Structures are given as structure tokens and as C-alpha cells.
Amino acid sequence: MTTSTEGYMLSFCPVVKNVRLTVSSTNGEDVKVRSSVTDHVVKEGGQVTLTCTSACSFHQLDVHWYRNSHALPETGPALHLSGLTNDDTGNYTCSLDSSGQKTSAPWCLLVGEYEDGEDVKVRSSVTDNVVKEGGQVTLTCTSACSFHQLDVHWYRNGHALSEKGPALHLSNLTNDNAGDYTCSLYSSRQKTSAPWSLVVLEDEDGEVVKVRSSVTDNVVKEGGQVTLTCTSACSFHQLDVHWYRNGHALSETGPTLHLSSLTNNNTGNYTCSLDSSGQKTSAPWSLLVGEYEDGEVVKVRSSVTDHVVKEGGQVTLTCTSACSFHQLDVLWYRNGHALSETGPALHLSNLTNNNTGNYTCSLDSSGQKTSVPWSLVVLEDEGRHNVTATGKVKSFWLLTVSVVSVVLAGFLLLLAGLVFAKRRQAQKKASDVIQKLEVDCKQEAVGASEEVSYATVHFKRNSSRSAPGPEHEIVYSEVVG
């Protein structure tokens, strides 16, 4: 038995009662998968029928089906797939026997949702676009073309990668792997997918939103520039990114915030949020804009233009540094003595002369990173003292008048009581005298009555005596009485 040089192949197929020799021109491919669709991409929920074709009659042979080399329960020359999902994606092959000796070339089925005209797309093994450092992700380039017939090229941020093929495996991820990934079916990039953004997030427990900076520290000189990037576990093209400075919303939106021609007004704590509700907000990132002397990494700034503040006034001192304040402790000192207040800002109000002194701040208790001293002078407010003195004099006189009034009122009450008591006593005494006089008068009246009666009895006029004598005696006795 021979084969021609033109590629004809002789194959024996069993028939009933005799043997038939069949010659077929298959260019070496005697088993092949054909599809009911014109390309390899079917939308989710759709259906497709795959047919296994061969030079032999199927009613005499068993046909087995495989997806990604794993045997399927379905057998027969046709494989019907309906209600398709992403799980049905894979390379399908068919074999004429269970031994797999005669197996077709793979036929790639891609199940997915595509925009109109989007025949190349990047799919990911993760549910979102963010993977933590050290993690891994597999990107798959899906297309309407069979991948074993076309080359697939990969790009990150527009730069070609050395890896090729329908799948791109990335492991032990670092921030260098972050970027926009695209795939193309040809090196000419005629058919290129839309970009898929990969964000590699630093592994910090519970922190799903974070601000990253284009500068190595938090201090930028006046006139400089900085770019802040909001990294998150969510895809930025699906969510809005809002920016805030010191809790106040900025007009800029999007995953990056570009700040240029910086001034002191740009100094503050910057945060980003994935929605306007602020439910998912990053930790603050401190930006410090200012001029620093060589080697001066810690400095005290004041809310006043000079170092002199009047008594009763207020001032806020701010400790600026090249380090982020939410990660470091800030300690304050006056004349070298530690104050109880801590934090990047020191608020002083109702100032007195006791607040005068040299203030410094330090980023740690060791004092290794300490600012140069900032002098505060509290100036005596004479007007304030005059007002205070006048107020004290008025208060003294009011108190004096009040005390005198109380004492005088008490004295008058006491005097009135004494007068009232004496009057009662005098009235009682007068009453006693009157009563005594009345008794005496009554007694005298009784005595006089007796004497007069006696005299009357004793001096009863006698007819034998002369008239002038008794009259004279009666008058006398009345005088004596």
C-alpha cells in the first residue's frame, strides 16, 4: 500500500460483509471540527453546534468530545451547546475512538459580551482591576479568530511585551506590572483590544483606596509640581474619583490629580474617594509646599505675619516636614520644655506673657529631627489693663455700697426695734402709773368721803349756835380735806 506524493492518504473503514477501500484528499487531516457559526465568538446565552467530520462513516465509529483535553459526557458526531456561559469557553476536539489516537485539531470557542465592532477583547482572571503586591493574574485575549492560526501580541502602556499567545500569565506582581494592557492579533496592530487597566496595590490590611505620589517625599518647593494617583480595588473607568483637600471637594475628578506651579495655598491633606458619598475614602496624604534651607527638613510656620501678638490674641503654629504627619508623631517645645499638646498644629489662644518664648517642633521624642526655634512675643495691651482696672474699681465700689447698705439697713432695723421696745415699756409704765393713780384716787376718795361724813356728823348744825361759826368751820374742813 502506497500514498502519492500529492498528499493522498489511504484509510481503511470497516463495512458490512466486505472491506471497502476509500481514498480521500484531506491534506493529512482526516478528523476535523466544524461549527454552525461563522466565527469563534458567541455571546453569552447563545448556542452553537460543533460537528466532527471524518473520512469514515460515523455510524460505524464512536465520536468522543473534549474541552481543553478533558472528556465530555456527550458522544456522537454533533455536539450541541446552548445557554452558553464563560465556562463553555475553550478548545474543543473530537476523536473517533476513546483511545484518542485519531483526534481533530482544536477549535476555539469564545463566549462573551462584546461592543459593536469589538472583535478583540482582554479578559481577566480577577473580578476587578486591582491585585495586591505578590499576587497573580491571567489575562486572556478573546477574538473572533482561531488562536492556533493567528499570533497574539501583548502590550503594556503601548510597549510590546516578550510574551505571546492568547493568555498572559503575571505572577509575583509589583508596582512595575501596573499599567494598561492590550492585545493584538497581528504585529501590525490592525485588530487591537481596548486597554485593560491593572493596578497593583500595596498590601496594607483593610486599605482599599490609597493616594500615591509622583515625588519621593511630601515636600515640594514653591513653583514645583506633583501628580497624585488614586489607587483602588475598583476599576476606574467604571467609577468616579473625587478629590479633596483638607476635607473640601476639589473641582478636578479622575484617578490622577495634577498640581503645578505650587504655592503655599496647595499645602494640605489630600484624599480621594471612589464616589461622591465619600464612603470609600483614602487615608490623607500630606503635601507641604515651601522653601527650605539645605538640610532643613522640619520647620515651624505661623498663622501671623510677625512674631508679636497682643495679650488676649491667638496664633496657630504648624510643623512642616518632609514626612507624612499621619505616620509620625509631632511633639512641641517652648524654651526647650516639652508641651502637652501634640500633632502638626499647635493652637494658642487668650495669650498672656506666659506664652512668650521660643517654640520648636520635633517628629519624634528623640529630638533628632527638630525645627529651628520660632520666637513668640506677647505684647502687653495697656487698654486691656485699663479696662480691667476700671472694672475692678467699679466692682469694689459696688461691693462697698452693697455692704454699707446692708449694715445700715440692719442698724435701722435694730434701732426701730429698740424704739419700739422702749415705747412699749413706757406705755406699760404709764399704764401702771395711771392704774396706781386711779387706785390712789379711789382710796383718797373713799377716805375723803368718810371724813366728810364724819365732819357732817360731827359738825351738824345746831340751832342754838350762831350761823357764821359753822360755815367757817365747814370751809376750813373742806380746805384741809
At 322-380, the pLDDT tens digits run: 555 555 678 899 999 999 998 888 999 999 999 999 999 987 666 667 888 988 989 88
Nearest to 145 by CA among 183, 180, 179, 102: 183
- Helix (H) / strand (E) element for 317: namely strand 315-321
Round to whole Å and give the CA distance between 213 and 285.
Answer: 9
pLDDT reported for residue 21: 47
Per-residue pLDDT, averaged over 3-30, amounts to: 47
Q: Strand, helix or coil at 452?
A: helix
DSSP per residue, 348-363? E-S--GGG-EEEEEES
Label residue 24 by pLDDT band (50, 70, 90): very low
Length of the chain: 481
pLDDT tens readout for residues 378-413: 988 766 655 555 666 667 778 888 888 888 888 888
Class of domain 209-289: mainly beta
What residues contact 107, with CB distance under 8 A and at least 6 apart? 33, 35, 40, 50, 91, 92, 93, 146
Q: Is the dihedral of CA 268, 274, 277, 280 positive or negative?
A: negative
State the sign of the Cα–Cα–Cα–Cα dihedral 14, 20, 21, 26: negative
Provide the whole-model pTM: 0.31
pLDDT tops 90 at residue 50: yes
β pairing state of 137-143 and 120-124: antiparallel
d(CA 296, CA 360): 13
Q: Which CATH code fits 120-201?
A: 2.60.40.10
C-alpha cell at 334: 517652648
Question: Which residue reads 386711779 in cell numbers?
Answer: 438
pLDDT of residue 51 exceeding 60: yes
Of the chain, the percentage scoring pLDDT greater than 90 comes to 18
E strand spans, 137-255:
137-143, 153-156, 159-164, 167-170, 179-184, 196-201, 209-213, 219-220, 226-232, 242-245, 248-253
C-alpha–C-alpha distance, residues 148 and 405, integer Å: 114
227 strand-pairing partners: 258
Q: Which CATH number fits domain 9-111: 3.20.20.70, 3.40.640.10, 1.10.3720.10, 2.60.40.10?
A: 2.60.40.10
Each residue of 269-300: pLDDT tens digit? 899 987 666 667 888 888 878 665 555 668 88
The string of DSSP letters for 375-442 reads EEEEE--HHHHHHHHHHHHHHHHHHHHHHHHHHHHHHHHHHHHHHHHHHHHHHHHHHHHHHHHHHHHH
Q: What's the confidence (pLDDT) of residue 9?
A: 44
For the ranges 117-126, 385-394, 434-443, the maximum mean pLDDT occurs at 117-126
The predicted pLDDT at position 120 comes to: 81
Average pLDDT over every residue of 111-116: 61
Residue 156, Cβ neighbours under 10 Å: how many? 18
The x, y and z cell numbers of residue 125, run together, are 482572571
CA 52, 53, 59: angle at the middle one, nearest 5? 85
Rounded Cα–Cα distance for residues 209 and 430 (Å): 106
Residue 236 CA to residue 229 CA, distance in Å, equals 11
Identity of the amino acid at 122: V
445: pLDDT confidence band, cut at 50, 70 and 90? low
Q: Which CATH class is domain 298-380?
A: mainly beta
N-term to C-term CA, the chain: 202
Q: How confident is the model at residue 12 (pLDDT cuts 50, 70, 90)?
A: very low
48: confidence class by pLDDT, cuts 50, 70, 90: very high
Determine the pLDDT at residue 27.
46
